[in-house]
Amino acid sequence: MSRTMLSALLCAALSTFASGCGEIPQAHAATSNGNNLSPQMIAEGQRIFRYDTFGDEQQWTDTLRMHEVVQDLDPITALAVGLKVDADALPPGILDGADLGDPAVTVALLKLDAVVGVHAAVDANNRITRLGITCALCHSTVDDAVQPGIGHRLDGWPNRDLDPGRIIALSPAVPPAAKVVYNSWGPGKYDPRFNIDGLNTPLVLPPAYGLLGIRNETYTGDGPVSYWNAYVAVTQMGGHGNFRDPRLGIDIRQSPDMVTSKLPALRAYQLSLRAPASPADDVAAARRGRVVFNDNCIGCHMGYTGTDNNSGRLHGATETGTDGAYAARTVNKAYRTTPLRGLRYHPPYFHDGSAATLDDVVAHYDRVRQLHLTSQQRADLVEFLKTL
């Protein structure tokens, strides 16, 4: 059985914009300013983002047999691997006295569509017959208002607690060698090319908020954001749709196409998600840090988007001092300047999570770019970055 059939992305919407059938549609780059967003389209996009599987049950049920795994998965274990529960989908008091060690409670939550990013069909005997995933699995979390892992949805926030590889490795269809790879990723990481080239350099799940005006919402800028959304939906989630990229030798066409027609509304919802506000902890330090930023960082993190990639610029791994193994697997062989949005809310940093804190990020660039910042300047810069 091929890796393509065995692998499944738990990160739908790594950077989900789309409005084509996966061709590398350059024309869509010019439409990412959000001028044509309507409330109706945004509402439909929210429904798709949260609840639409694109027909990926063909992957999760028919191939990976994850419905069998989840049938016996208790809520305690589910929460431990990073799955989240939408408190607003629960009737009042339903969790009072519930045994979170009982797999039957997981099934009950699925019947309520309360497990974020997981959609299941359950029969009259409370057996899961079909199971798939949605965009929200990797790019929504909750505010823990009820207890850790249970709360109100935060769409667009990366689920850094989610352990995609550990979940996939539970599948009885995955061979032992692949299980080793999946289990090596850890929480908040996923390799979106492992099933394509067999290599293993997992990425940190990025936020899906603050996308308005961003041209390429991927770490390596392989194409417009619409391109990546189609790639993820079809080649990784296992959705029943179309994706083609001759550069990668991929040409997947399935009828009916359950992906393409939904992508414009999905993009509209993604564009509507704003980065969370982040007031300064130390106003004076943040003001000083802005000066340091303008003197040293704004050449790449430019304009209101915070990236020079909108003008087509990419950076080699040696220029940024980051690991180049993932970039080497991509079309462009280089990295895009990451937009700075809600930074304090989604550590770790860099494409591979190699910087645990913003202090580590600043120290890295101070060393690599030979900025010669004082300890006070580094601290002030961190305070400013927290406000972005």
CB 366 within 8 A of CB 385: no
Q: Same structural domain for residues 180 and 50?
A: yes
| Domain end call among 224, 247, 272 | 272
Q: How are beta strands 243-245 and 250-252 bridged, if at all?
A: antiparallel
Residue 278 lies in a domain: no
User: What is the DSSP annotation of 47-91?
Assistant: HHHHH--TTTHHHHTTTT-HHHHHHT--HHHHHHTT--EEGGGSP
The count of structural domains within the chain is 2
Q: Same structural domain for residues 200 and 337?
A: no
Question: Which tokens is 75 given?
Answer: 């809520």
> Coil, strand or helix: which one is 301?
coil
In whole angstroms, what is the distance from residue 280 CA to residue 292 CA?
16
- pLDDT tens for the chain, 388 residues long, are 444 333 333 333 333 333 333 333 332 333 445 556 899 999 999 999 999 999 999 999 999 999 999 999 999 999 999 999 999 999 998 888 899 999 999 999 999 999 999 999 999 999 999 999 999 999 999 999 999 999 999 999 999 999 999 999 999 999 999 999 999 999 999 999 999 999 999 999 999 999 898 888 789 998 777 788 889 999 999 999 999 999 899 999 999 999 999 998 998 999 999 999 999 999 999 999 999 999 999 999 998 889 999 999 999 999 999 999 999 999 999 999 999 999 999 999 999 999 999 999 999 999 999 999 999 999 999 999 999 9
Q: According to DSSP H, which parts of the chain are helical?
A: 3-6, 39-51, 57-60, 66-71, 75-80, 103-111, 136-139, 164-168, 176-185, 194-197, 225-231, 263-272, 283-296, 317-320, 358-368, 375-385
In whole angstroms, what is the distance from residue 13 CA to residue 233 CA?
8
Residue 277 lies in a domain: no
Q: Same structural domain for residues 255 and 340?
A: no
Rg, Å, the chain Cα set: 21
> Coil, strand or helix: which one is 154?
strand
Q: Same structural domain for residues 134 and 59?
A: yes
Amino acid in the structure at residue 109: L
In whole angstroms, what is the distance from residue 178 CA to residue 192 CA?
14
Relative orientation angle of helices 358-368 and 375-385, to the nearest 10 degrees = 130
- Domain enclosing residue 54, as ranges: 3-272
